[in-house]
Amino acid sequence: MAGSQSDPANSERRLVAVYPGSFDPLTNGHLDLIHRGARVSDHLIVAILRNTNKQPLFSIEERAEMIREVTASLPTVEIDSFEGLLVDYAARRNANAILRGIRAISDYETELQMALLNRRMRPETETIFLMAAEEYSFISSRMIKEIVMLGGDVSRFVPEPVSRRLRAKSVR
């Protein structure tokens, strides 16, 4: 069995995963998946989607800065941004996996469709699903923005640097 993929001595194969999203804003649920994704991969690229069809609350640069701040202790995590097809970005970055979080059955249905399409477009890239931790399964960026717009406190749902920036934006 020498040299086979199941041989633990074969350390040449590395798991490079892309965790894509808008992260507008980054939530504690996202951060939990980043920590867990960093544990199961050799290198995790947190890839911020540049979506020109949406009006973001934070710029790409602001989002990247916040994510870098809260992941500074994770040496295998890299922050980047992309536009276009995720599988094309994964190919450019030599990633062999896409990390996706699942909060509910409704997420699973959508994520399954995307994973199957991605597999058809680039079979060498696997999709890895991680279930959201129970305490974060109800949190979404959209809900966080809505709570902030209505004057609510989201400090329990987002990392402190994000909470600070959200408060600063809501005062303007």
Q: Is residue 107 part of a domain?
A: yes
Q: What is the pLDDT of residue 169?
A: 81
Q: What is the pLDDT of residue 79?
A: 98
Report the domain count for the chain.
1
Q: What is the pLDDT of residue 171?
A: 59
Q: Is residue 85 part of a domain?
A: yes
Quick one: pLDDT band at residue 61, thresholds 50, 70, 90? Answer: very high
Residue 54 among the catalytic residues: yes
* Structural domain that includes position 105: 16-171
Give the burial class of 68: count Cβ atoms within 10 A of its Cβ; 0-12 exposed, 13-18 middle, 19 or more buried: middle
Residue in 30, 63, 100, 165 annotated catalytic: 30
Per-residue three-class SS string for the chain? CCCCCCCCCCCCCCCEEEEEECCCCCCHHHHHHHHHHHHHCCEEEEEEECCCCCCCCCCHHHHHHHHHHHCCCCCCEEEEEECCCHHHHHHHCCCCEEEEEECCHHHHHHHHHHHHHHHHHCCCCEEEEEECCHHHCCCCHHHHHHHHHCCCCCCCCCCHHHHHHHHHHHHC
Quick one: pLDDT band at residue 1, thresholds 50, 70, 90? Answer: very low
**168 versus 37: which is more confidently predicted?**
37
Residue 103 among the catalytic residues: yes
Q: Model confidence over 8-37: pLDDT tens digits? A: 445 577 999 999 999 999 999 999 999 999
Q: What is the pLDDT of residue 51?
A: 83
Q: Is residue 8 part of a domain?
A: no
Q: Is residue 11 part of a domain?
A: no
**CATH code: domain of residue 65:** 3.40.50.620
Residue in 22, 41, 141, 163 annotated catalytic: 141
Taking the C-alpha atoms of residue 165 and residue 66, their distance in angstroms, rounded to an integer, is 9
Quick one: pLDDT band at residue 172, thresholds 50, 70, 90? Answer: low
Mean pLDDT confidence for 96-111: 92
Q: Is residue 1 part of a domain?
A: no
Residue 81 among the catalytic residues: no
**48 versus 51: which is more confidently predicted?**
48
Q: Is residue 3 part of a domain?
A: no
Q: Is residue 146 part of a domain?
A: yes
Q: Model confidence over 105-114: pLDDT tens digits? A: 888 999 999 9
162, pLDDT greater than 80: yes
Q: What is the pLDDT of residue 98?
A: 98
b/e 116-137 (16+ beta carbons within 10 angstroms → b): eebeeebeebbbeeeebbeebe
Residue 170 among the catalytic residues: no
Q: Is residue 6 part of a domain?
A: no
Q: What is the pLDDT of residue 20?
A: 98
Residue in 39, 50, 54, 92 annotated catalytic: 54
Residue in 63, 100, 103, 165 annotated catalytic: 103
Mean pLDDT confidence for 76-87: 97
